[in-house]
Amino acid sequence: MTAWLFPGQGSQRPGMANGFSACAPLVKTAEEIVGAPIRWVCCSPTNDVWPADLVQPAIYLTDVGGAQALSGEGLDPDAVLGHSLGEYAALVAAGSLSFEDGLRLVSVRGAAMMRAGRKQPGGMAAVLGLEAEKVDHICAEGGAVWVANLNSPLQTVISGSDISLAAAAKRLREAGGRVVRLQVPVAAHTPLMKAAVAEVRSVLDQVEIKPPTAAFFSSVDGKRHEDPAEIRRLLLEQIVGPVRFEEAVRAIAATGTDHFVEVGPGDALSGLVKRILSDVRVDRVDDDEKAYALSSPSLKEQVT
């Protein structure tokens, strides 16, 4: 059994959509719907500027293009899991959400989170080498900072206001952890994003969500969900609540899934899975060639 994993914000890189031929028509549709230069964000090979309101739809578009590349090779997932923003692409891959509706949602989500971030500036940082319980305890010592992503046994992401994030980073380093600031310019997955929830809800209420055709696991609670009403609730909860990626990966593995494929830009999720599980196959697909190789028995060993 195979699970597709979709990365979220922070996985962006220059020219990330160029490897997937399916992204070209998606870019055209996206620019018509959003009315903004999405092509520049996801296709320019020299771009290193990531507008907070456009990077989310650009990553989402790339994730969906990757899923379409795999589907074009006759591959389909048994299960899907998205990391934060990646949940929208996971729902598209599972037939639960249309590309156009997902695009409208992530566009509003990105802009709403940007506005919330301007009111309460903050960011995110990865903490390496400390257990999540220890990280949570240190964050709880004071300040507007919280555990935001529970990614793997020894990788936790914290999020909060700039001042509190810096103070917590100092305490975590003193405790023996390594702290790395991420390319996320807002305090995602914290109460500081509460203002964004109402904006996303206003669009989400108008969007059709169907029962997924592949097993959809939410990174909000690490469980499988089929009820569209529950999926709506979780998409709102994830804006202010932590991502439980490790828990979700273990839940998928417990179903007998032994092959995980990261679909989209970067290799962060495939790296995390390798740290979480030692007895599964892990691949990543970030261009058409890897999608083709994954579908061809003679080339499968070339996929990394």
* Interval 26-40: pLDDT, tens: 999 999 999 988 999
* Residues designated catalytic: 84, 189
Check: CATH 3.40.366.10 for 2-118+191-302? yes
pLDDT of residue 102: 97
Of the options 3.10.20.30, 1.20.1290.10, 3.30.70.250, 3.20.20.60, the CATH number for the domain spanning 121-181: 3.30.70.250
User: For residue 152, how many C-alpha atoms fall within 13 Å in the half-sphere facing its CB?
Assistant: 17
User: What is d(CA 162, CA 143) in angstroms, rounded to the nearest whole number?
Assistant: 10
Which CA distances in Å does 40 have to 9, 53, 55, 58, 248? 17, 13, 10, 9, 33
Residue 271 vs residues 93, 146, 148, 275: alpha-carbon distances, Å: 22, 23, 19, 7
Count CB-CB contacts under 10 A for residue 301.
8
Report the pLDDT averaged over residues 90-117.
96
- Give the position of tokens 């995602």: 188
What is the end-to-end Cα distance of the chain in Å, rounded?
18
77 pLDDT more than 90: yes
> What was the pLDDT predicted at 258?
95
Report the alpha-carbon distance of residue 283 to residue 296 in Å, rounded.
Answer: 14
Decide if pLDDT at 303 tops 80.
no
Domain with CATH 3.40.366.10 in the chain: 2-118+191-302
Confidence class of residue 274 from pLDDT cuts 50, 70 and 90? very high
Digit-coded pLDDT (tens) for 165-179: 999 999 999 999 999
In the chain, list all ranges with CATH 3.30.70.250: 121-181
Provide the token pair at 49: 């500027």
E strand map for 17-172:
79-82, 122-128, 145-152, 155-161
Q: Is the pLDDT of residue 298 over 60?
A: no
